[in-house]
Amino acid sequence: MSSKQPLIPPTRGGSGGSVSSIDERRAEKKRAGRRLWLVRGAIAGGVVALIALIGWLLLGSPAFALRADSVEVTGADTAYSPDSTLETIASSTDVYEGTPLLRVPLDTLESEIMKNPNVDQVTVSRAWPRGLSVEVIPRVPSMMQRLEEGFDLLGPDGVSLGQVTDPYPGVPTVVLSGYGTDGVTREAVEAAEVWGSLSQGLRDQVSVINVNGADITMQTTGGAEILWGTTDLSDVKSQVLEVLIAGREASIYNVMDPAYPSTR
C-alpha cells in the first residue's frame, strides 16, 4: 500500500527578490540623475564664474588698463607740425589712462585727434594688453596763401596748417579771394587742380596763382600775367601755354579758350 505525499504548491520566493532588485535599480537611477544634475549645475556655475572673472578682468581690472607709455603713434612724423600732432594725441589719450581697454571709446578719441588741423585721417585701435595704436595720415601743405608778412600753409582743402616766414618748398604760392571764409575750400581745390596740370617746367616759372571766384590768373617769375579762366580743360591749357611761352616772350599769355590762345 503506497502512501500519498501531500501536494505542496511551488514557492515563489524568487518574485520577492525581483521586486527588490527593480526598486534598487530605480533608486540608483534617481541617485544617478541627481548626481548628473549636480555635475551640470557645478559646470554651469563654473562657466558663469569664469565669464564673470573674464568680464571683470577686461572691464574692471587694472590688469588690462591703458598705460600712457603704451600708446604707439605712427605717421605723425611726416606731418608739417609733428610736435603739435603728438601733443594732441597725448592730451586725448592721457584722459583715459588707467581705464580698462574695452572701456576706452575709440570713436571719441578719433574725433578729438581729428580736431588738430594737421591730421587728415586717424585710426585708433586697441593694442593688448595695455596699449593703443594710433595711425595718422597727416595733412601736408599743398599751397601757401601769401600774407602781408610771411605765408599761411594750406592743405588741399584750404585748411590752415600754420604760418611761416619763409616760403615752403615744393608748393605754389596762391592768393585766394575766399581766404578766411567758407569759400576757401573750392578755391583751394581749383588752385590745386591748375597746379597739378602744369609741367615741372611751367611750375618753375609760375610765382603766384590767383583765384577769384571762377577767374584764375597767374604771374610768372618774369612778371608776365597768365589769363587762365576756369579749371575747364586745364590739361589742354597747360600744353598750349607751354608752347606759347616757348614761342615768344610776352607780358600777357591768354589761354582762357585754348582753341584760340593769344599773347601780347
- For 217-244, the pLDDT digits (tens) are 999 999 999 999 999 999 999 999 999 9
- For 55-106, the pLDDT digits (tens) are 555 555 677 889 999 999 999 998 888 999 999 999 999 999 999 998 999 9
Give the mean pLDDT of the chain: 87
**What is d(CA 134, CA 139) in angstroms, rounded to the nearest whole number?**
16
**Whole-model pTM?**
0.69
Mean pLDDT of 41-54: 68
Torsion angle of C-alpha atoms 184, 185, 187, 191, degrees rounded to 10: 120
- For 1-25, the pLDDT digits (tens) are 455 555 555 555 445 556 678 877 7
Residue 161 near residue 168, CB atoms below 8 Å: no
**What is d(CA 261, CA 56) in angstroms, rounded to the nearest whole number?**
75
pLDDT(50) > 80:
no
The phi, psi pair for 187, rounded to 5°, reads -65, -35
Q: The cell 585727434 sits on which residue?
A: 113
**What is d(CA 202, CA 26) in angstroms, rounded to the nearest whole number?**
101
**DSSP code per residue over 6-35:** PP-PPP-HHHHHHHHHHHHHHHHHHHHHHH
Cα 88 to chain centroid distance, Å, stands at 15
Q: Is 58 exposed, middle or buried (0-12, 13-18, 19+ CB in 10 A)?
A: middle
Torsion angle of C-alpha atoms 216, 208, 151, 169, degrees rounded to 10: 120
- For 109-151, the pLDDT digits (tens) are 999 999 999 999 999 999 999 999 999 999 989 999 989 899 9
